[in-house]
Chains A and B, each alone.
Chain A
Amino acid sequence: MAEKFDFIDSAKYDFKDPEKYAFRTPKGLNKEVVEEISRQKQEPKWMLDIRLKALDIFLKKPTPTWGGDLSALDYDSYTYYIKPSEKKGGTWEEIPDNIKKTFDRLGVPEAERKFLAGLGAQYESEMVYHSIREDLAKKGVIFLDTETGLREYPELFREYFTKLVPIEDNKFASLNTACWSGGSFIYVPEGVNIDIPLQAYFRINSEKMGQFERTIIVADEGAKLHYIEGCTAPQYSTLSLHTGVIEIFVKKNASVRYTTIQNWARNIYNLVTQRSMVEEGGLMEWVDGNIGSKLTMKYPSIYLIGDNSRGKILSITFATEGQHQDAGGKVIHKGKNSASTIVSKSISRFSGRCSYRGLVKVIKNATGVKSSVKCDALMLDEQSRSDTYPVMQIDEEDATVSHEATVGKISDEVIHYLTSRGIKESDAQAMVVMGFIDEFAKELPMEYAIELNRLIQLEMEGSVG
């Protein structure tokens, strides 16, 4: 089974298709480019107005200097919109051959058949495929690409769009709002429980392009959803940009789990804003695996606004040569008796750098809050680096918030023990790393957990001697 669901094995997805496109904007970002994106999508005027306002804010805001090194970002060198095909499909037969072949090689349609309730596949700037199980559609579940969501459900769309991530939130949220394209629009009606995951798969094929997916998820009262996103791209010597914005609304007693297996090629800047808001008794879980990209800056956030709401962020990062994974999580407690946990595991080797950056904030009158944060970092060689930058801001007396972090290397005693049992040193190291991330792997569907383990094993090859 492992070979068939090869979503995150870098050797398997590092292939390039010939660049065949229905339309692409010229390089660089300006008013004309944004207007052209809007025209291509035949959007209402209010959306174009928001895009132009966001562009203005993006151009005015400075590039942040507090996280990873963004100095090589050259905004004028990217193509901000590439339409791969005029056709979109609800079946794979409707998809142009070259694109279908790409997703076949990645094992995406097969995964859909075997263990998904619905799938969206984005190629460059557009979702080329979207499909959901018939029984779920009949129950009123909406699972569409974001453009179709805007077209078919304009009022519902407008109710949630930019409500959690305002256009001026940060430079990259502004950029996304100006030129968003693709992503998923999901609405799960009251009481509907989607027992197997929905998935979106994002593929960048072109060199020096920007992909700006925008995802809105609404889980109505008592609804339950697990959404998975995977991302890959071929390796180029030039740098590409992926800037997503995800807004998730978890209503009363609803539950959403959002799992990311991010395995972009190492020429991608992955700068993503993910935010969720949880009402009374609701549960939001971010399961966030960052293995690829040149630089990731991503801090999934949970606003626990309802009483007795809960949030959980489970993050692993793996950074090797030339990579900086600047990840973490934020939880803001507003609801009484709300609870949260953040668990972060990072592994760095071959001069890779992992940083945890997080915030736990308890707003005044949010009594009975409990929050715990645990960060563990494993460094595998002398050239690597690990940083931890947590913030705890507590404005309420009746709150219990704790944080602990450890940074260390693999214990020599453990390696000695395993090698004395006939295990090769590199395998012994890989075993320890697997054990280290076990808490994360356990939270993934079986097929993804197997693939994650395979990936880590691949990454660990050659790490000794």
Chain B
Amino acid sequence: MTPNLLSEFESDKFLDLRKKFLESYDSGKKMDEPVKLDFDSLPINKISPQFEKCDHFETLNENEITHKIHPFYEEGLNPKSNFSNYLLAFLEEGIYLKPHSQKGYLKFFAKTGLTLEPVIVEFENDCTLFLHFSGGDGSVCLDFIRVFVKENVKAKLFFLFENGKRGIDFSSKLENGSTLEVYPVVLKGEGIIFNSTHNIDKKDAFYVEKSVSLIKGKDKLRQITLVSENEEGIKVDVEARSILDDSSRCFIKGILNVEKRAKKSESHYGGHCLKFSKESKALIEPQLEIKSLDVKATHSASVSNVDDEKVFYLESRGLEREKARKEIGIGFLSSFVKENQFLEKKIEENFNE
């Protein structure tokens, strides 16, 4: 396929853009990615919202959802991952959300083949949104997610990414005084690249990202969070937790970049892995780059197995050893998503599979 076919009804401007993205993708793919998504030759599917119900959440109304393409080419939505160049070259349909429900829910389902899932979310008022990305057998998904939060708005966003291979390119734009809390959950990802990139340049903005992942079998996760702070009073709290079982692999990297203008900012990054098997491998790189004086910046990282003392405590309360280990793992992951019972249940189910 070439971008020309897609651009039949578009102006030359968009055709040129599509070609540019394809060129960028071709030149960028030479770089060796440890997690290979291998999507180049797959047939492309459009994003497919499913209006399913989810307990404790309201399914989004039609008026909260618009199908658009061209907003994805606007300035400021640049790809932060090479696979997004491919998505923007071949994008046929994107979803533009303006949630108003107090607790909205929307599910996307990906069939076999490559599914391009571009989503823009604009929070204009305080609310909670739960986006559920699910894949079928043999599916590969490219998720290009951009979130905008208006001034002084407090938004909360739950993500569930499950099944198949997946490239996630997530980025946000916060206005003065706004808050965005993000809770991504990754379950059963054969190969996951999760890039979360945020350049915060508005006063008193608050960004929270608490992600959890359960990696089993031969699954691989490569998760990189980069937050740049470039204005006064910004607060950032990022933590990534991962459980590794079987012969899975994970690479977790967090970069907090505090620029000169970011006075009186407070930042924390945490990367923590709990290993359930001897064969699994974890690589964690938490990084700080601090160029401003009047800031508080910390990071922490840990890799360990399940604490024997905790297991023993649960055993002494009548739990079998394996069950005790699982309970500890469930507690480690689900503490971030207590508010979302659906996710809590999903984590538990995956543990018990």
Contacts and interface: CB of A to CB of B under 8 A. Distances in A.
A398 B295 CA distance: 36
A3 interface: no
A400 to B, nearest CB: 4
B293 interface: yes
Contact of A395 (B281, B294, B302, B305): B281
B282 A392 contact: yes
Category for how many chain A residues contact B: 20 to 34
Contacts of A389: 285, 287
A358 to B, nearest CB: 10
Contact of A385 (B273, B278, B291): B291
Contacts of A394: 273, 275, 281-284, 303
A166 interface: no
B137 interface: no
A381 interface: yes
B283 A393 contact: yes
B288 A386 contact: yes
B289 interface: yes
Contact of A392 (B288, B295, B301): B301
A390 B289 contact: no
A250 interface: no
B293 A384 contact: yes
Contacts of A364: 278-279
A379 B295 CA distance: 10
Interface in A374-401: 377, 379-382, 384-401
A110 B126 CA distance: 73
B300 A399 contact: no
Contacts of A140: none
Contacts of B300: 402-405
A71 interface: no
B305 A402 contact: no
B6 interface: no
A379 B283 contact: no
B241 to A, nearest CB: 14
A408 interface: yes
B286 interface: yes
A379 B292 CA distance: 8
Interface residue SS majority, chain B? strand
B275 A392 contact: no
B14 interface: no
A65 interface: no
Interface-central residue, B279, B280, B290, by most chain A CB under 10 Å: B290
A407 B287 contact: no
A388 B301 CA distance: 12
A405 B286 contact: yes
Contact of A397 (B280, B293, B295): B280
A398 B285 CA distance: 20
Contacts of B273: 394
B298 A401 contact: no
B284 A391 contact: yes
A133 interface: no
B278 A396 contact: yes
A154 to B, nearest CB: 42
A237 interface: no
A407 B305 CA distance: 28
Nearest to B299: A405
A61 interface: no
A101 B182 CA distance: 67
A420 interface: no
B275 A390 contact: no
A381 B285 contact: no
Nearest to B258: A407
B285 A391 contact: yes
Contacts of A393: 281-284
Contacts of A20: none
A387 B298 contact: no
A408 B295 contact: yes
B297 interface: yes
B301 A403 contact: yes
Interface in B265-279: 273, 275-279
Given A397-B305, A400-B305, A401-B303, A387 B288 contact: yes
Nearest to B298: A406
Interface in B194-230: none
Given A390-B301, A405-B299, A408-B295, A397 B275 contact: yes
23 contacts: A386-B288, A388-B288, A389-B285, A389-B287, A390-B286, A392-B282, A392-B285, A392-B303, A396-B275, A397-B277, A397-B305, A400-B304, A401-B303, A402-B301, A403-B299, A403-B301, A403-B302, A404-B301, A405-B286, A405-B299, A407-B296, A408-B296, A409-B293
Interface of A: 362, 364-365, 377, 379-382, 384-409
Given A392-B303, A400-B304, A404-B301, 10 more contacts: A382-B294, A386-B288, A391-B285, A397-B275, A402-B300, A403-B284, A403-B299, A405-B286, A406-B296, A408-B295
Interface of B: 260, 273, 275-305
The 6 A-B residue pairs with the shortest CB-CB distance in the complex, in nearest-first order: A394-B303, A403-B301, A402-B302, A388-B288, A407-B297, A400-B304
